């Protein structure tokens, strides 16, 4: 039976919504509207003169091979961060769910990376991947003879920023998966075990299907995170290099706007990025959500 709260006065619901509406207006609608306006303008680097240029900024963008290449870089980076991050988090959550002694300490330890700032996470991974001093580089060279150099090799640089971004986001995913696993009735797991189902069979037939709403939610969140919130990691590690091989769409927005001082082109890029994320989210809710089991 659906429960609804009925307000006697008509203004009280609007009054309760007003703080949230003000926050969304100031921090989302206003900047988004400003970016949309600037994408149709050409400004000098100091903002002293403005000229209306219509769609010229967008035409220049899609004729720029560097910008088109950043689409491919962003697609590869986002896919790797979302899939690896969700996969590792799910594995850790399943293992943590089985621990009886010291479970609280183990779970707390896995949450620690979420408290680390993205820029700090990037610096930590630079030290680990440093060709001369990094422990990861040393271990790879000693164990399998693999030499890493993220300053010159594009694949190594991509591996570095993906590792840092996944490490930063694993804690967030882990919390949701642990909560989802603990909400599954233990009687279902015990009944399947009595029927002879092994751990893998119980996971694939019971636990993972019941975790599909959580997995779908985390898929959306991780893609948005990879698109927007990884700027600090990229800026602290590779600066979009070598060349522009790790320059994602959001990093190119910053680079063109604040270093190349192309304010109109940067605003046009932010509008394109916003449209891509909105379209991707709508597509996920429209088609991928149909495969989610909420029962």
Q: Provide, rounded to the nearest whole percent, the portion of the chain with pLDDT above 90.
A: 28
Rounded CA-CA distance 127/157 in Å is 13
- 101-126 per-position pLDDT tens digit: 777 777 777 778 888 888 899 899 99
Report whether pLDDT(79) > 70. yes
Report whether pLDDT(86) > 90. yes
Confidence of residue 100 (pLDDT cuts 50, 70, 90): low
Rounded CA-CA distance 83/205 in Å is 21
Structure tokens at 135: 């422990």
45-84 per-residue burial string, b: 16 or more CB within 10 A, e: under 16: eeeeeeeebeebbbeebeeeeebeebeebbeebbebbbeb
Cα-Cα-Cα-Cα dihedral sign, residues 34, 244, 65, 222: negative
Rounded CA-CA distance 159/156 in Å is 5
Whole-model pTM: value is 0.83
Q: Taking all residues of the chain, what is their mean pLDDT, rounded to a whole number? A: 86
- 222-247 per-position pLDDT tens digit: 988 998 889 899 999 999 888 889 99
Structure tokens at 147: 């030499």
Of 291 and 209, more confident: 209
Confidence of residue 2 (pLDDT cuts 50, 70, 90): low
Confidence of residue 295 (pLDDT cuts 50, 70, 90): low
């Amino acid at each position: 039976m659906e429960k609804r709260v009925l307000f006697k006065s008509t203004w009280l619901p609007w009054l309760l919504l007003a703080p949230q509406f003000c926050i969304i207006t100031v921090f989302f609608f206003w900047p988004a509207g400003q970016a949309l306006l600037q994408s149709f303008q050409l400004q000098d680097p100091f903002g002293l003169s403005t000229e209306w240029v219509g769609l010229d900024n967008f035409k220049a963008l899609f004729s720029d091979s560097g910008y088109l290449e950043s689409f491919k870089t962003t697609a590869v980076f986002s896919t790797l961060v979302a899939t690896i991050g969700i996969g590792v988090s799910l594995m850790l959550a399943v293992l943590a769910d089985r621990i009886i002694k010291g479970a609280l300490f183990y779970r707390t330890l896995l949450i620690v990376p979420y408290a680390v700032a993205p820029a700090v996470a990037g610096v930590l991974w630079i030290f680990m991947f440093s060709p001369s001093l990094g422990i990861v580089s040393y271990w790879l060279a000693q164990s399998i003879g693999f030499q890493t150099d993220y300053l010159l090799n594009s694949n190594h640089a991509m591996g570095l920023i993906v590792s840092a971004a996944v490490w930063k986001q694993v804690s967030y995913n882990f919390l949701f998966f642990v909560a989802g696993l603990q909400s599954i009735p233990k009687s279902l797991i015990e009944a399947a075990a009595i029927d002879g189902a092994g751990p893998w069979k119980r996971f694939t037939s019971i636990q993972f299907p019941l975790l599909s709403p959580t997995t779908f939610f985390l898929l959306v969140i991780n893609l948005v995170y990879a698109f927007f919130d990884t700027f600090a990691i990229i800026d602290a590690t590779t600066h979009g290099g070598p060349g522009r091989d790790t320059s994602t769409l959001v990093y190119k927005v910053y680079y063109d706007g604040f270093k190349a001082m192309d304010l109109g082109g940067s605003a046009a890029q932010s509008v394109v990025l916003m449209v891509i994320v909105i379209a991707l989210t709508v597509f996920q809710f429209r088609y991928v959500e149909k495969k989610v089991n909420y029962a």
